[in-house]
Structure 1
Amino acid sequence: MNSQKFTAELQKIFGNDLTARPFNRFEPADSIWWLVPSAEWPAFQYSKIFVNPLSGTNKYEVGLYLENGHSSNMLLVEGNKPSNRAQVMDNDWEWAKLSKDKGRLEGVIISMQQAGVSPRVRLEIEPFSPERAAENYDGEKQKIRLTYDYTGTAINLLDKTDTINDPKLRGLIEDVAQQTNVAGVVNSIELFSESEWYWMNLLIYFETDSVNASVGVLTDMLNILGVEEA
């Protein structure tokens, strides 16, 4: 089973309330996929289920995918066109809502552990919009990743990008690397004065090779987040 089929099976179970979208529509079979609680696209503002195939295995990363967009200042730099306006975060974005109610993010992690899976957290940071990153703008794209596991009481850093090319990010990376819960990670981002110029993804997930084993965990996650069809 590839990621496209895995996602399709999940969609059958959850019904038409969730729209399946691939990251790479030209090679969808092995792309990262999202299940979005809306037919709207782009869907940066929504909490999404994601399915990411793990290379060389029959397993997938499955869980919550949350995006933190830019401020309107980016329009002054990259132009006020529709694709850029879609990347400007406002109070309707799920990141903005959940940053004010971080207990729900902690609840997602706890519910995963209680369901018998091993939760992980990953923060991804890019110095460009998704559009620019996809174009490898100026040949300088660097996606920075920090990955944590969860021990039952705290998150613990497992791995991070070693070399940070962007000096503005080094203090932030040092700070978030020391955090012991998701709320602390989000707080660090909120305190980062340059955050409006960086695109960030927060993933809370588990690894699995089974659609059926994923359903209960994802159902609990959606209930905690209050995800409904838009």
Structure 2
Amino acid sequence: MDGPGLRFFTPAEVSVHNTEADLWLSFLGRVVDLSPLMEQHRGDVLLLPIMEVAGRDISSWFDPETEDVLRFVDPVSCCLRYFTPRGRFVHVPPAGPRSDWVCDGGTPWWRDKRYQVGRLSSKTRWIRVVNTLTSQETLLQVCSEETLEQILQRYLIHNAHARSYTWKHAGAALDMSRTLADNHVPDDDHTLTQLRLDRDRFTPALLLHFNDDLTNG
């Protein structure tokens, strides 16, 4: 899932996928859609720990170095076991020998790239998109890793002709192939928090100037 087409998601976007039929999770910066896994193992009690955390980040379940489920030494058996305080879940082997457990169950879901739909943003931020033609103002939560072109994609639901505008900040036209930071659009969240100022009052504005041509809409 790496490359220029990589999609980033905010925690809020992941959180809405919180049902058995539409279940997303995030962990170690990845966003996965486990809906196919839920369908494949429908009715299996081992799905319950996953269903309990639907739409949430479960990075605490994993070792960031090995990218595998955390392990511990069982004080009774002195064997290395997976650490699953919420209960054993799909693809985690049982604690001891079992006749109904298939050792070669394929790639566990947390390593299976087929479930990955994108990456979780390491830093989200709010921007105001102001249409100078209509004076319409839209507040958007975006990912700091996104290019302006990806942000434009988010904005299309508010203005289907967004490509017919020149996007500017502080009087300068923005490079749509670069991020907000690369375009020198400041992110002052940390400074504003230190100064105990309301971040909502200092949300940077991107101004859309109509190009007088709707053919690109």
Normalising by structure 1, we get a TM-score of: 0.18
Structure (1/2) with the larger helix percentage: 1
Q: Which has the higher contact order (CA 8 A, sep 6+)?
A: 1
Normalising by structure 2, we get a TM-score of: 0.19
